[in-house]
Amino acid sequence: ADELESHLRSGGILFWVAVSDDIEESRASEVLKRCGGEHVHAHMIERTFGEERFKYRNPDPFLD
């Protein structure tokens, strides 16, 4: 946390990018590096929820 705070105070920015697959991950990493990103790396985070848990997220499909 101290290291992150130090980077942010000196103008660093922390980005999170959600991707669907390895191809998107590679492309996102390339873009960030090409735009001057340093310490660009990925972490796999498995979702514990999804749309199937939200049955009423779109109660009236005719409203679309």
Place of tokens 């999170």: 16
Q: Read off the pTM.
A: 0.55
Place of tokens 């979702």: 47
Tokens of 47: 């979702």
Model confidence pLDDT, tens digit, residues 21-57: 899 999 999 999 999 888 898 888 776 666 666 666 6
CA 51 to CA 64: how far, in whole Å?
A: 17
- The neighbour count for residue 25, using CB atoms within 10 Å, is 15
Angle at 38 between CA 6 and CA 2, to 5 degrees: 20
Place of tokens 């590679």: 26
